[in-house]
Amino acid sequence: MKYLTEYRDPELVERYAAEIRHITNRPWKIMEVCGGQTHSLVKNGLLQLLPPEVSMVHGPGCPVCVTPLHLIDKAVWLAKQPGVILCSFGDMIRVPGSECSLLEAKARGADVRILYSPLEAVKVAQENPGKQVVFFAVGFETTAPANAMSVLHAQKLGVKNYAILTSHVLVPPAIKAVMNDPETAIHGFLAAGHVCTVMGFAEYFPLAEKYRVPIVITGFEPVDLMQGILMTVRQLENGEHRVENQYSRVVRPEGNPAARKIIEQVFDTSDREWRGIGTIPESGWDLRDEFSAFDANKKFNVPQEKAPESSECIAGLVLKGIKKPFECPQFGKKCTPSNPLGAPMVSSEGACAAYYHFSGLTNEA
């Protein structure tokens, strides 16, 4: 199959790995930003092919993982309101809130529905005119066009019983926050290909220049990742700090202009709180004022109360690349996919879930 099987070629992966081992002379710490990259690295055993000098650390690129606790609580609160249908992608359903998850709320009688697209939620609203339908709009730049389109679609159809609870986060400000954190020491980044498919990569040039780090945009297959690591290490060994596009078969410098236009029409940049990390300036998107009728926060006057994170969960340190998942004392013990202390253990892109399922380091008691 074009663009799939050839990017899973074990011989090509090994050739890239051998070249990485050959050119590496100094220790380097490279952060793969996206949780999808993390899962591919761990699941395919790619970390074991790298020389000990090349350390891959896992970044904050899991939108489920960085959704703050109080926003999960908001979604649960909305789901419990009479006459409300709460719709969400499946990966948000089991993320723990301070009281319960959406799945637990559903088990207690809340009308929570798993959908594959926010446009489905607009249809649910059309089919249930006597109820209020809220879509939990979580994600990085990748899911923003569809969420924005759902608002435009509802507006065009005159569907007034539809709203979104927005938790969009942006990658470039997260990279800036990681580099500004005194506890981190990252030498290079693998940027997420699907995000750059939408947004392009112009925003990465000033980051590479300011922090003097190479940023290589990659896909998610084994060959993509090993080639991207090779490109990053080659820059590091040569003392370079450029933006390179390994994922050129999909990513264009300008991204997807039509998708970007829709995003700019519906959303405005805002400060955003990241679970386990804190507030990052201008790192999120909220609905513009002209679409406030579709803003669940304003429509329902959702409570703004904040709850403390679990003192036993080190998700923030994992998301900033300071700790590995297996370095958490509760990893595979009190924290498992069936009983997660934090989102990285339950999300399909979470680093803790990747290590639990694929690394053999569960240490479950």
The 10s digit of each residue's pLDDT in 58-86 is 888 888 888 888 899 999 999 999 999 99
- 42 lies in some domain: no
- 295 lies in some domain: yes
pLDDT, tens digit, 9 for 90 and up, residues 211-222: 999 999 999 999
Domain count, the chain: 1
List phi, psi (to 5°) of 312: -90, -10
Instruction: Quickly list DSSP for 129-197.
Output: TTSEEEEEEEESTTTHHHHHHHHHHHHHHT--SEEEEEEEE-HHHHHHHHHH-TT----EEEEEHHHHH
- 271 lies in some domain: yes
Burial label, 182 (beta-carbon count in 10 A; 0-12, 13-18, 19+): exposed
Please give the average per-residue pLDDT across 171-184, as a whole number. 92
Question: What pLDDT, on a 0 to 100 scale, did the predictor assign at position 350?
Answer: 84
Residue 287 has pLDDT above 60, yes or no: yes
- 194 lies in some domain: no
What's the CA gap between 81 and 326, in Å, rounded?
39
**Which domain, by its residues, includes 136?**
66-170+255-300
- 267 lies in some domain: yes
Q: Is the CB of residue 283 less than 8 Å from the CB of residue 271?
A: yes
Q: Is the CB of residue 202 less than 8 Å from the CB of residue 223?
A: no
pLDDT, tens digit, 9 for 90 and up, residues 236-250: 999 999 999 999 999
Question: What pLDDT, on a 0 to 100 scale, did the predictor assign at position 365?
Answer: 37
- 268 lies in some domain: yes
CATH number, residue 260: 3.40.50.11740
- 175 lies in some domain: no
- 161 lies in some domain: yes
Residue 285 has pLDDT above 60, yes or no: yes
Q: How far is CA 129 from CA 117, 123, 153, 286, in A?
A: 19, 10, 16, 25
